Structure 1
Amino acid sequence: MIEAVWIAFAFILGLIMRQVGLPPLIGYLAAGFALAAFGDTFGVGPQDSYILAHIAHLGVLLLLFTVGLKLKLKNLVRPEVIGGSLIHFVLSTVIFLPGILVLLDISMRESILLAVALSFSSTVLAAKVLESKRELRAFHGRVAIGVLIMQDLIALLVISIASGTSPSAWALLVFAIPLLKPLLYRLLDMCGHEELLVLLGLFLALVIGGVGFESVGLSSELGALAFGAMLANHKRAGELSQSLWSLKEVFLVGFFLQIGIGGLPDADAIIFALVMAVVLPLKGVLFFFLFLLFKLRARSAFLSSVSLTNYSEFGLIVASVVLPEWLIPLAITVSLSFIFSAPINRFAHPLYERLANRLIPFERDIRHPDEQPLSLGDAEILIMGQGRTGRAAYDSLATKGYRVVGLDSDPVAIEASIAAGRQALFADAEDQVFWQSLQMPQVHSVVLAMNDAEAKTIAVQKLRSRGFKGLIVSHAMYEDIAERILEAGADLAYLTMSEAGNGLAEQVNRAIISRQPAPQDQQN
């Protein structure tokens, strides 16, 4: 009965928020507050929140595990990511701290921790917004996600220091964890693509990482993050993260419900949240100028900053551990920041176009290496996608004497193609900046071999909009997708399974003919 009431309130209010264009998690917080106010009517009260506490903790651990799966050092060890995140953390904490000390009657320790909690940006909101706009792999998306991961690591460090827990001597065993990497890789390879994959993620995040680290006096959050990071370079890390995504989101609903059920906000909490909402744009402005300092163009700096202009659920996680009395005011603050940030992110590109003339003069006269124009040189055929289909097309065309180049948004696929002797470059067909900087002077034909149907449609539209008159050929799994690609401007769209069937039939026909006896043999 209790669980049914939680689910009903969360679903209804989450759906309402989604319909008005706001993140559903604002509805989950509202559901918690509604249960705090009217829960007695439905037989639900704060005394039942211990169940939610367990669910919420599972959600946090799964969130950190999936964050760890994205912890690729080559994306973090970059000046704009490390420098931008650390400098912003220090400056924003220093900016918030005096105001907190003046306006609030709290100790220096509480003031510092509160300023730290306000310095973080939302991993959940930014990742969802960037994913919905298909910009996670775009340059500004990678910068924003890198900064968020750095902030998550800082948050874990703050929790470990502020909680004051002392590890046991057995905690030294964590330094042997890297030795487990071959075993973990082997387990991931053995689990297939179904429920065992999900159970492996739960086992590593909750059992080995969570309970294991707690048993030696370390943070369970740190354990979940560490075991996720161990698998980050595996080729199936993205698949594992995707398989856990929905489960993690459901458990995180419990986290936001738990905050609301803890009690209704008073006038002081609402005033605090309103003040923090007013100063929120300063966070984005600070990010913008820091990114410019690290050679980003105004456009990339602006789009990355907009993604980071909000307060973080990690601030709530920090508060739940070291500032429990500030959990509800911070929850209201995070909600208001989402209400501000969600619509701004939705219209970030048109907004930049309107502000471009004012923002571009702030650019430095040097360009970030990742934003240099991409030239395909003397290549005649461009193959977008370096999976099995793209590699086969590349090899076949190259043997016929064409100059071919391959593009892919997966660094692993690029490395494999280069190792096999192909010319391959990293690029994302859904990255607007890529199309603006692409130089393809001698390309007369483009083969679209990506898996994502939307990416293929976007690629066709971008090629035609930039005036490309050459041949565009794509493959598709289904007829309706092939029709969409053709409507976008492609010349040919082959149905993959139909062509495979035709090829298989041709091979069978050849085999039958080769086995038939010659006419003279039949006469004998």
Structure 2
Amino acid sequence: MRQIGLPPLVGFLAAGFLFSATGAEATPLLDELADAGVLLLLFAVGLKLRLQNLFRIEVWGTALLHLAVMAIITGTTLHLLADLPWSVAMILGVALGFSSTVLAAKMLEFRRELRSFHGRVAIGILIVQDLIAVGLLATMGGASPSPWALLVLLALPLMRPILSWLLDQIGHDELLVLFGAVMAIGAGGWLFHLVGLSHELGALALGAVLAEHKRAQELSNAIWSLKEFLLIGFFLSIGLSGLPTVETLLLALVVTALLPIKAILFFFLLLGFGLRARTSYLAALGLASYSEFGLIIAAVATESGLIDAQWLVFAALIVALSFAIGAPLNRYAHHLFEGLEKRLERLERKQRHPDDSPISFGSAEMAVIGMGRAGTGAYDYLRDQGHNVVGIDNDPAKIESHRAEGRKVVFGDLEDPLLSDSVAGGRLRTIMITVPDAEAKRLAARQLRRRGYDGLLSATYKHPDERDSIFESGYDLTYNYFAEAGTGFAASTLEAVESEQLN
């Protein structure tokens, strides 16, 4: 799939349907592994979550209005085409109004945009939807929350000091991975399920409890490989849910055709709350899918006798179709926006959201974009040499940390045209880019040069095959910090040796 530009998850979905066509079925072990992968993914999302984002009107307002409208549209479609009773059609309509937390989180994580503004808005909307889904499952005959559920929720803030202390005591290798797995699958998944709450919500909540910890990013990186491996089981299991009848397939195609309406509605709602066209577009595209909660709700409705078993296959099929469509679209989201930018920007409101406003760099003449370890080192060196430098990052928590340490750091998204416009109209003459995503660096260079920036543009790169394409996109200088780190290490060692010999 990578060879034709599609994410691997599309291949895993296709493999699942191929296995299903041969008569294979999902095993309990595969289902357990798939569930564990989802819990680890949501735990990783929680590690990047700021709970205050949920209380923004653009988050809960968009989530509630969108769900209500899409439930009516989808429910009416199912009632008319499948001759379902209104009660059943509306249950499925609400279920299909949800967006996939797994797909959205996976694609945002893939593009390293979980903490960008549109990423935070999208994840906030998904969490509100998940909370509604938990209530819906309880009313349909799913596991109702026990009286202990409220106690577990109230205990979450009290758990932070204990869990933070444990994380401080753990090393950097296997124990850190084990800690993450236990938190996601055990403390989050199993404990929440025990008291009748969604175990997906539990994993997300446990991650959020640790989001402010200084090792949150390290923990997220540690569980990455395990999470990616287990998620293969999730995408395979969707394809293995069964093969549809011709009638079910046709109906699934019709309902899948509603995805553009779902995306457009998200886009205009977010625009209505004052977000820019780009922010609204990226968030809407990430949310334009059908949710794995649709599978869960269909399963509970089937067990309760509300609908026939064929609707479980229907739910699996439309989730798979929406993933297969949404994954490649999200992969090329920024490229697609370039072609639509002028037309979509004309739809923006004049009054901007305060978090989505133009960027000011003050009197700075040099900028470092991406304030991780490499970016911070570059910033400190330039500042110590007397240069007027500004740091730029898309992670609000990281920005706060840098500001507390006396650095001048502002919010900015490398792939956002707003950043390029702000640079073109400012005093910056040198820009150093240290973000790891090669495609983001290439896109940023094209945008900066197109908008008239003619200053020095330099970037780091990891892999040798990235160097030429980075140069071709408009950079004046590239730097492989893995290779140069070795050079610097050797130079420092030789300097120490020569100093000893002189003494």
Query: Please, what TM-score do these two structures have when normalized by structure 2?
Result: 0.83
Q: Distance in 1 between matches of 2:245 and 2:115?
A: 42
Q: Distance in 1 between matches of 2:456 and 2:220?
A: 37
Residue type of the alignment partner of 2:230? F
Residue type of the alignment partner of 1:291? L
User: For the Cα contact (< 8 Å) 2:6–2:331, is it kept in 1?
Assistant: no
Counterpart of 2:73 (choices 73, 83, 95) is 95
Q: Which residue pairs with 2:202 in the alignment? A: 223
Q: Distance in 2 between matches of 1:290 and 1:35?
A: 40
Structure 1, 330-339 or 452-461: larger mean CA deviation: 452-461
Q: Which residue pairs with 2:399 in the alignment? A: 414
Structure 1, 262-271 or 487-496: larger mean CA deviation: 487-496
Q: Distance in 2 between matches of 1:52 and 1:315?
A: 19
Higher Cα radius of gyration: 1
Q: Which residue pairs with 1:518 in the alignment? A: none
Q: Which residue pairs with 1:317 in the alignment? A: 296
Question: Residues 21-170 of structure 1 correspond to what in structure 2 (within 5 A)?
Answer: 24-25=8-9, 27-39=11-23, 49-133=27-111, 135-170=113-148
Instruction: Provide Cα deviations, 1:196-231, integer angstroms capped at 9, x if missing partner.
Output: 222112212222223333444444334323222212
> Cα distance 1:490–1:461, how it changes in 2: closer, same or farther (>3 A)?
farther
Instruction: Provide Cα deviations, 1:241-286, integer angstroms capped at 9, x if missing partner.
Output: 3443443344344345445545431233213202202322211221
Matched, 1:380 2:351: no
SS of 2:27's equivalent? helix
Q: Which residue pairs with 1:427 in the alignment? A: 412
Q: Which residue pairs with 1:301 in the alignment? A: 280
RMSD, matched Cα: 3.5
Q: Which residue pairs with 1:208 in the alignment? A: 187
What's the offset of the Cα at 1:455? Answer: 5.7
Structure 1, 199-208 or 209-218: larger mean CA deviation: 209-218
User: For the Cα contact (< 8 Å) 1:375–1:439, is it kept in 2?
Assistant: no
What's the offset of the Cα at 1:92? Answer: 1.1
User: For the Cα contact (< 8 Å) 1:67–1:149, is it kept in 2?
Assistant: no
Q: Which residue pairs with 1:269 in the alignment? A: 248
Instruction: Provide Cα deviations, 1:373-397, integer angstroms capped at 9, x if missing partner.
Output: 2121211332334345544544454
Q: Distance in 1 between matches of 2:15 and 2:464?
A: 43
Matched, 1:489 2:475: yes
Q: Distance in 2 between matches of 1:477 and 1:147?
A: 34
Structure 1, 199-208 or 159-168: larger mean CA deviation: 159-168
> Cα distance 1:304–1:178, how it changes in 2: closer, same or farther (>3 A)?
closer
Identical-pair percentage: 49
Q: Distance in 2 between matches of 1:389 and 1:349?
A: 25
User: For the Cα contact (< 8 Å) 2:49–2:120, is it kept in 1?
Assistant: no
Q: Which residue pairs with 1:501 in the alignment? A: 490
Q: Distance in 1 between matches of 2:344 and 2:450?
A: 26
> Cα distance 1:371–1:241, how it changes in 2: closer, same or farther (>3 A)?
same
Q: Distance in 1 between matches of 2:433 and 2:241?
A: 53
SS of 2:407's equivalent? coil
Q: Which residue pairs with 1:248 in the alignment? A: 227
SS of 2:364's equivalent? coil
Residue type of the alignment partner of 2:277? A
SS of 1:363's equivalent? coil
Structure 2 residue runs without a partner (length 5+) = 304-308
User: For the Cα contact (< 8 Å) 2:45–2:105, is it kept in 1?
Assistant: no
SS of 1:438's equivalent? helix
Structure 1, 134-143 or 475-484: larger mean CA deviation: 475-484
> Cα distance 1:486–1:497, how it changes in 2: closer, same or farther (>3 A)?
farther
> Cα distance 1:189–1:136, how it changes in 2: closer, same or farther (>3 A)?
same
Structure 1 residue runs without a partner (length 5+) = 1-14, 516-524
Counterpart of 1:334 (choices 307, 319, 330) is 319
Q: Which residue pairs with 2:261 in the alignment? A: 282
User: For the Cα contact (< 8 Å) 1:430–1:458, is it kept in 2?
Assistant: yes
Residue type of the alignment partner of 2:488? E
Q: Distance in 2 between matches of 1:350 and 1:392?
A: 31
Instruction: Provide Cα deviations, 1:331-387, integer angstroms capped at 9, x if missing partner.
Output: 111233334434544554555455455544432222222332212121133233434
Residue type of the alignment partner of 1:425? V
Matched, 1:362 2:341: no
User: For the Cα contact (< 8 Å) 2:48–2:115, is it kept in 1?
Assistant: no
Q: Distance in 1 between matches of 2:102 and 2:7?
A: 10
Q: How many residue pairs align between the two structures?
A: 492
Counterpart of 1:176 (choices 151, 155, 158) is 155
Residue type of the alignment partner of 2:490? G
What's the offset of the Cα at 1:453? Answer: 6.3
Instruction: Provide Cα deviations, 1:114-140, integer angstroms capped at 9, x if missing partner.
Output: 111110222333344445555555544
Q: Which residue pairs with 2:306 in the alignment? A: none
User: For the Cα contact (< 8 Å) 1:110–1:323, is it kept in 2?
Assistant: no
Residue type of the alignment partner of 1:73? L
Residue type of the alignment partner of 1:119? G
> Cα distance 1:215–1:433, how it changes in 2: closer, same or farther (>3 A)?
same
Q: Which residue pairs with 1:192 in the alignment? A: 171
What's the offset of the Cα at 1:88? Answer: 0.6
SS of 1:317's equivalent? helix
